[in-house]
Structure 1
Amino acid sequence: MSFVVYLTFILMSLALVIVFVRLVKGPTLPDRVVALELIASIMVGMIGVHAIHTETSSFIDVAIVMALTAFLAAIGFARFLERGGPRHD
């Protein structure tokens, strides 16, 4: 089981690095917003894997709160872009 957990953390960390490159490079604001949401989703997944590995249920609560916060941030970004935020497409 430990090997699978470590492999999962390695793959999720690699995905986090790739998404961070997309966040920095852009090229547009919606691309950056999607990258931020994906970073939040990957972090929720990493917290979930850690909770399963350590058998600590309180980490699941942290993951749920983080997922809800990321969802509300996505709604906020979407409304900002919908109302004509700074777009340089």
Structure 2
Amino acid sequence: MTVVAVIVTVLLTAGAVLALVRIVRGPTVLDRIIAMDVLLAIVMAAIGAEAAFSRDATALPVLVVLSILGFIGSVSVARFATTRPPS
């Protein structure tokens, strides 16, 4: 079980590093926003993996709050990023 935890940790860390690189080097603001959304998903996956590994369900409310914040953030960015014709 420890080998699986190490592999999951390495993969999540690699994904977080790549998302951080995209946040820093993103050519547009939308690329940076999408990378932030990906980073939030990676953090949620790490919290979920830790909760599953330790068999402790106290992190579930944190996951619910993070998922709601991620959804609201993505919807609000998508709403303001769309181009509207001038009225």
| TM-score (structure 1 length as normaliser) | 0.87
Q: Provide the residue aligned with 1:46 in structure 2.
A: 46
Query: 1:39 offset after TM fit, Å?
Result: 0.4
Other-structure match for 1:64: 64
* C-alpha deviation, 1:66, in angstroms: 0.6
Cα RMSD over matched residues?
1.3
Structure 1 unaligned regions, length at least 5: 85-89
Of residues 2-11 and 34-43 in structure 1, the stretch that sits farther from structure 2 once superposed is 2-11
Q: Alpha-carbon deviation of 1:15?
A: 0.7
Distance in 2, Cα, partners of 1:50 & 1:78:
31
Q: Which residue of the partner structure matches residue 36 of structure 2?
A: 36
SS at match of 2:27: coil
Q: Where do 4+ consecutive residues of structure 1 move more than 2 Å? A: none
* Residue deviations 1:32-77 (CA, integer Å, cap 9, x gap): 1110100000000000000001111011221121111111111111
Deviates more, 1:43-52 or 1:3-12: 3-12
Q: Percent identity, aligned pairs only? A: 27
The answer to which structure, 1 or 2, has the higher relative contact order (CA under 8 A, 6+ apart) is 1
- Extract unaligned runs of 5+ from structure 2: none
TM-score, normalised relative to structure 2 = 0.89
Separation of aligned partners in 2, 1:83 and 1:60: 37
Separation in 1, partners of 2:76, 2:83:
11
CA radius of gyration, larger in: 2
Q: Does 1:77 align with 2:73?
A: no
